[in-house]
Amino acid sequence: MKLFVTGIGIVSAIGLNVEENFHSLKLSTTGISRSAGYDLMLGEVNLSNDAIIKKYDLPEEDFSRTSLLGLVAAKEAWGEHKIDTQNRTGLISATTVGGLDRMEKYYFRAQQDASFNYLPHMTHDNGQTTERIAKVLGIKGYIGTISTACSSGANAILQGARFIEGGKLDRVIVGGTDPLSLFNIKGFSSLMIYDQNLCKPFDASRNGLNLGEGAAFLVLENEYSISITGSNPLCLLSGWNNSTDAFHQTASSADGKGATLAMTKALAKAKIPAQDISYINAHGTGTENNDLSESVALINVFGNHIPPFSSTKGFTGHTLGAAGAIEAVFCVLAILSDSVLPNLNFSSPIKTTRLIPETTFRSCTNVEHVLSNSFGFGGNCTSLIFSKA
């Protein structure tokens, strides 16, 4: 059974739509800069909540930025799609922040001002941030939210694939969305894995990540749905797997067990040999631990023939629950343009593994199959494979 990707939408620090994102990737223009508010390097989306509310003529409700960023990307991916009772349609989103951007704001305000009755505002659970996106798109029925830390976005895509393959849905819009939150900024600072300068994924001198925000969604359809919608397939989602490292709550194992399993099983699911992968969009956060563990896993799976690979987190920052979806859109763009994407800020390889990522935007003769990795706290490892339609 073929699973078609027929729509993509994205909002990130390097652009407010697919075209702008692709343009920045092509020119190697990062979206990360020193944020005046936090005095930290952040990949902020250049679009205010008010601007989004105005753009889509949304009701004057208390929207979480999670819903708002998600809406921008979901609307772009959804495009001209219409609700049709014959075509079973669902929405599966991913987030780690959910309504926390609002919760933390009200909670802190209440600490300062005892008279502020904040509890009536505290109604944004993860699921509700997704329901708000569904309401605007007009989707009813299966509306789900995945939260598996930094692999959430990839897992929402994986869920959508399984729903279509399992015959439960014909069309599903899948992706992830996460705004910046003080909670996560302070959290990653407390772990001492925050690079004070631009992050350097896979570099020997890497010393941490930069946080970012954003959202991305993809429309997945089966052949039946396409026969109704007439959508033009962009590419196929051909393989997926989720496996667990079972090593530590926050750190990846030295032997890259979970990542190795996820990549190996995704390849088996896609029924393609490892050497047929044209490009890998790595998780590559820029932390000492992730990049080494992921490099070991890449060697475990691909041996001496590592395909061209890069981490695009130097462009967007680590967008947590949105990362897997944002990078999935980048993979679709790599296939559509027959190119491999650059890894910014790299100068010298990690001594033990010696892997050298792609450092420039480069056209290739044929980008046939692309692998995308996403790993999260709890040892959660997901790999997705996209293929030419």
Active site residues: 150, 283, 318
Told to check if 153 binds another protein by CB under 8 A, we report no
Other CB atoms within 10 Å distance of the CB of residue 75: 19
Residue selected from 49, 107, 207, 228 as contacting another protein according to rule CB under 8 A: 107
Told to check if 121 binds another protein by CB under 8 A, we report yes
> Which span sits near another protein by CB under 8 A: 92-100, 172-180, 296-304, 367-375?
92-100
Collapsing DSSP states into helix, strand and coil, what is residue 5?
A: strand
Burial tier of 265 (Cβ tally within 10 Å: 0-12, 13-18, 19+): middle
Told to check if 147 binds another protein by CB under 8 A, we report yes
Residue selected from 14, 42, 68, 149 as contacting another protein according to rule CB under 8 A: 149
Told to check if 111 binds another protein by CB under 8 A, we report yes
Give me the residue label for tokens 């800020």.
Answer: 345
Other CB atoms within 10 Å distance of the CB of residue 1: 7
Of residues 106 and 315, the one with the C-beta less far from another protein: 106
Q: For residues 201-222, b (16+ Cβ closer than 10 Å) or e, as one string?
A: bbbeebbbbbbbbbbbbbbbbb
Other CB atoms within 10 Å distance of the CB of residue 354: 12
Strand partners, 12: 15
> Which span sits near another protein by CB under 8 A: 125-133, 209-217, 308-316, 353-361?
125-133
Of residues 86 and 347, the one with the C-beta less far from another protein: 86
Residue selected from 7, 15, 70, 144 as contacting another protein according to rule CB under 8 A: 144
Told to check if 109 binds another protein by CB under 8 A, we report no
Told to check if 316 binds another protein by CB under 8 A, we report no
Q: Of 379, 376, 378, which Cα lies nearest the Cα of 156?
A: 376
Residue selected from 46, 48, 123, 197 as contacting another protein according to rule CB under 8 A: 123
Collapsing DSSP states into helix, strand and coil, what is residue 308?
A: coil
> Which span sits near another protein by CB under 8 A: 94-102, 209-217, 300-308, 362-370?
94-102
What number of chain residues touch another protein (CB under 8 A)? 62
Told to check if 318 binds another protein by CB under 8 A, we report no
- The angle at the Cα of 30, spanning 294 to 202, to the nearest 5 degrees, equals 20
Residue selected from 42, 68, 72, 134 as contacting another protein according to rule CB under 8 A: 134
Residue selected from 59, 120, 230, 273 as contacting another protein according to rule CB under 8 A: 120
Q: Provide CB contacts within 8 A for 386, sequence distance 6+.
A: 5, 235, 236, 237, 238, 328, 331, 332, 335, 369, 370, 372
Told to check if 224 binds another protein by CB under 8 A, we report no
Is the sign of the CA dihedral 311, 160, 258, 369 positive or negative?
Answer: negative
Residue selected from 4, 63, 163, 309 as contacting another protein according to rule CB under 8 A: 163
Rounded alpha-carbon distances, angstroms, from residue 196 to 21, 40, 207, 358? 24, 6, 9, 24
Element (H, E) at 237: strand 235-244
What backbone torsions phi and psi does residue 183 show, to the nearest 5 degrees? -55, -50
Told to check if 38 binds another protein by CB under 8 A, we report no
> Which span sits near another protein by CB under 8 A: 17-25, 69-77, 162-170, 306-314?
162-170
Q: Are strands 369-376 and 362-363 parallel, antiparallel or unpaired?
A: unpaired
Residue selected from 49, 142, 349, 356 as contacting another protein according to rule CB under 8 A: 142
- The angle at the Cα of 235, spanning 322 to 231, to the nearest 5 degrees, equals 95
Told to check if 242 binds another protein by CB under 8 A, we report yes
Told to check if 295 binds another protein by CB under 8 A, we report no
Nearest-approach distance from CB 379 to another protein, in angstroms: 6
Residue selected from 103, 297, 301, 367 as contacting another protein according to rule CB under 8 A: 103
Question: Under rule CB under 8 A, which residues in 324-383 are in contact with another protein?
Answer: 376-380
Question: Which residues in this chain contact another protein in the complex, by CB under 8 A?
Answer: 96, 98, 100, 103-104, 107-108, 111, 119-123, 125-128, 130-131, 134-135, 139-149, 155, 159, 162-163, 166, 168, 182-183, 186-187, 189-191, 242-250, 257-258, 261, 376-380
